[in-house]
Structures are given as structure tokens and as C-alpha cells.
Amino acid sequence: REVKLALLESDVNFKVVKQFISNVKERSIGKEVMESLTPAQQVIKIVNEELTALMGKKEEKIQIDSNPPTVIMLCGLQGAGKTTHAGKLARHFLKQNKKPLLVACDVYRPAAIKQLQVVGKSVDVPVFTIEDCKDVTKIANESIKFANSNSKDIVILDTAGRLHNKANLMRELEKINNIIKKKIGEQEYESLLVIDGTTGQNGLNQAKEFNSVTDLTGFIVTKLDGTAKGGIVFSVSEELKKPIKFIGLGEKIEDLIEFNAKDFVEAIFN
């Protein structure tokens, strides 16, 4: 009961919690606990293992194509932290001796391009823009050409924040997704949803809608600092069977780490 309440209070989806508790109960009344010298510790171990299993059996990193560039599109609601995390991702790849390019695909929000340029300057990564162009599919297409001709091996698209229930904006995102896939063919491509870790139950609906138009390859969960419950991590992993690739822990440009399910679960218990 305590585990169930703790998960629900952490904003884990009720359906996910119900299945999780069923799995734990089945293992906890089994032979492995009955024969254990310390049943309480064995139950905690089972809870730990099942929570880790909720988020997939293994960590999945960004897939880097051997034939560059690898394109990474960031999508999500306005205010989720896409622009900041585009910069964090660029810095992450710089440390791996890659040559990233940031692409300004937010043509709606005032000063969005300027914000990305400031972020790009802070990590010493160039920003691709087309002045006075409102056609985001053209910007995405041309940025890949630019990357090819300028030896850039990672292209990070910072798209506009959009509500998942706005059909016209979601169609635009679908177009960007399709044009990239057509342009790069069989090359590796990542479509990552940047999602606020404090979102709660509505976050799962967001994820499902974005997944329906871009076939997401994973998530970046932001704002997982000391105040975030982070239940959305379990919900999206279990419901959509998509991996969490990174988590953002704060505002600083270095506050981005590759996701590790085991470490995440251990942090919850501590």
C-alpha cells in the first residue's frame, strides 16, 4: 500500500501503478521471498528491480550515424526547455569531439532565434538560420545541406513549442519529420520529446499525441531537480515503450546527464 501511494503521489499513471503492484505482489509471495532469510530486504529488492524494468531493460543512447550528419529534432510544449536543452545537447556532443550545428526552426515565438543564437554562442556552436523565412520545412532541409557542406556531424533542430491539441501545428511538425526522413534516407534520426518532469498525468497525453505525428525515438525529461516528482518517467516509458535518453537537472548548461534507470530508481529510494 505504501509503495502504491508513493508512486501515485509521484504522478505515475494509475494503470502503470496497478500493473506494477501486480508484478511485485506476484514475485513477493513466491518462492524467492519465502526462502529468504530477510524477507523485507528481498521485497525491497523486488520493488527496485521492477521499477527499473518499468523503464526498459537497457539504456538507449543517441544513435550516431557512421555517415553524418545525424539529425536530432527536439519537439514539445512551449516552456518545456527545448532551446536550453538544444544547447545542452550541443555541449554534450562537443565533449565527444563531434561538430554539432544548432538549427532555428522556431519562426513563431518572438526572439526565439535570438535566444538560440545566445545559447549557441555560450557553448561555441554555430546556429543555422534563414533570414525572414517562415517555412520551417525549408529551414530543416537547407540545414542538412549546410551541415553536409560544412563538415557538421550532428544537426539539432529546435522546433517551435506547440500544444499537442493544435492540429495545424502538429501537422507542421509531421511535415518537418517527413522531410527529414526523406532527406536522410536510412541514416540515423532521433525525434526527441522534451517534457517537463513536473507535468504530471497530462504529460502522458502530450507524449502520445507527439508520438502519433513524429514516431518519437525517446525523451528528454527536464526540471528533475530536488522538487520534481518525476513520475512521468515511469509513465511514458511503460505506456509508449520509448526510452528516456537524457534528464535535465537544472538551469545550467552542464545540467544534462544520460539517463540511467538503475541510478534513477536508487535515487528515489534514497
86/107 Cα distance (integer angstroms): 16
Q: First and final CA of the chain: distance in angstroms?
A: 19
> C-alpha distances in angstroms, 122 versus 18, 115, 169?
45, 11, 30
The pLDDT assigned to 270 comes to 60
Contact 126, 101 (CB under 8 A): yes
- Bridge partners of residue 155, in order along the sequence: 71, 101
Cβ-based neighbours of 39, under 8 Å, separated by 6 or more: 33
The pLDDT assigned to 194 comes to 94
Pairing of strands 256-258, 244-248: antiparallel
φ, ψ (nearest 5 deg) of residue 128: -90, 130
Q: What residues of the chain score a pLDDT lower than 50?
A: 227
Contact 178, 185 (CB under 8 A): no
* Cα torsion through 161, 166, 172, 175, rounded to 10: 110
The pLDDT assigned to 117 comes to 96
- The angle formed by the CA atoms of residues 171, 238 and 255, to the nearest 5 degrees, is 75
The pLDDT assigned to 64 comes to 86
The pLDDT assigned to 234 comes to 82
255/117 Cα distance (integer angstroms): 19
The 10 Å Cβ neighbour count of residue 235 is 25
The pLDDT assigned to 184 comes to 86
85/199 Cα distance (integer angstroms): 17
